[in-house]
Chain A
């Protein structure tokens, strides 16, 4: 007998602001967080724009001795986890300690530090590599540090499935609680790789927008003039909790998680198949897990990266699964405002999906002025919509052909 799982806490560190209220307020008002890259001198790069977290103050969260050995992707994750934990009202006790897990997602790990120390090693030799190099860069450090900060002793895992990592983390956390491996989980994603190697690498794949003269309108999912995604950073963490535990303590419940799907394209290292069949099977698998029919879904928080290929194939995949209903449900891409937070995206978008169900407000797809002919669904263009959706799904698709979909519904006991 599977147990029911609900969302009882949310913590966000995004280019729209540190804290759930700041980010959500920007999101429902259609305000984005994309501008010129300031983290490094991007002269010579094809793409010179990014969505950077601007209001995060390391000293608000860490003592100096700690922070100097924590890369930004770890700092963002810890901060988002603490915000989510506070928001949930939970506390760690000797009774629950071993029943609390941390399952996070991260696509890349500490690439900026790898760049820095590679240069130091080449110029000055291997003896100049800090002993904190490895613990700074490995992608599972966020879940490790979060569990150390909280004192939680349940499962401690990290998904590294590229841009699907956050969604796979949330889905796995949902399963862990449903099947009894733990009662509570801190889950979501984190990323911070606005650095020359990542921007240069994604640019070489022609994956990034080069609309350098107009960053605010560069992320335009489903629009005919879209030309790539915008690299972004931050962390989104949520608290998942077994329903009876949440009810017993009278917790605020944002939404119920009711399904999880995962598939592989078995097709290409980066491109989805033309008909998006891997994504389609993933949505179908998640709906089967949730014991829902396609017509039950009111809203899709799309992967919607703003690359020519993703948005076309994702639209096709939605039509394959939902058929006629595809034209009745609402789809939006919050990446139009946040940019693409890579391994953090699924965590952030799971949080947005829960907030959409809780508040009844669907965030818009901004910059969508002229949809591509092949993108013919209702993408909630330009302005948010009060629609009170009952069931929503969140899609994430990652390089390597890996897909993840989480299903949530508005909570009712």
Chain B
């Protein structure tokens, strides 16, 4: 739960979107308006916040809010 709440805050901050839009199934590109550079920066913000390292090949699989939450929960 802590991961989820923090993750939503990061996404709201990084992508400047309304909190209501950041639902588990939301796609960063299709629903939250991110481009490829936004995604790189979002992954960097996650690394910073959760003190983890996300390799590029893993980062490519993170397409939705739920993907991000699951990934961080798994490796933390």
Spell out A's residues near B (CB within 8 Å): 63-65, 127-128, 130-132, 135
Q: Is the CB of A132 within 8 A of B16?
A: no
Whether A64 pairs with B37 at a CB distance below 8 angstroms is no
A64, B16: Cβ atoms closer than 8 Å: yes
Interface contact A131-B16, CB-CB below 8 Å: no
Chain B residues with CB under 8 A of A130: 41, 44
Which range contains the number of B residues in contact with the other chain? under 10
In the complex, what distance in Å separates the CA atom of A63 from the CA atom of B15?
Answer: 11
Question: Is A131 a contact partner of B15 (Cβ separation < 8 A)?
Answer: no
In the complex, the 8 A-B pairs of residues with the closest C-beta atoms, listed nearest first? A65-B16, A131-B40, A131-B37, A64-B16, A131-B41, A130-B41, A132-B37, A63-B16
* Chain B residues whose CB sits within 8 angstroms of the CB of A128 once the complex forms: 44
Q: Is the interface of B mostly helix, strand, loop or mixed?
A: helix
Q: How far is the CB of B37 from chain A (nearest CB, A)?
A: 4
Enumerate chain B residues within 8 angstroms of A127, measured Cβ to Cβ. Answer: 44, 47
A65-B16, A128-B44 are known contacts; what are 13 more A-B pairs with Cβ within 8 Å? A63-B16, A64-B16, A65-B15, A127-B44, A127-B47, A130-B41, A130-B44, A131-B37, A131-B40, A131-B41, A132-B37, A132-B41, A135-B37
Task: List B24-76 residues whose CB lies under 8 Å from chain A.
Answer: 37, 40-41, 44, 47
Chain B residues within 8 Å of A63, by CB: 16
Chain B residues with CB below 8 A from A135, complex form? 37
Q: Which residue of B lies closest to A66 (CB)?
A: B16
- Nearest CB to that of A132 among chain B residues? B37
Q: Which residue of A lies closest to B34 (CB)?
A: A65
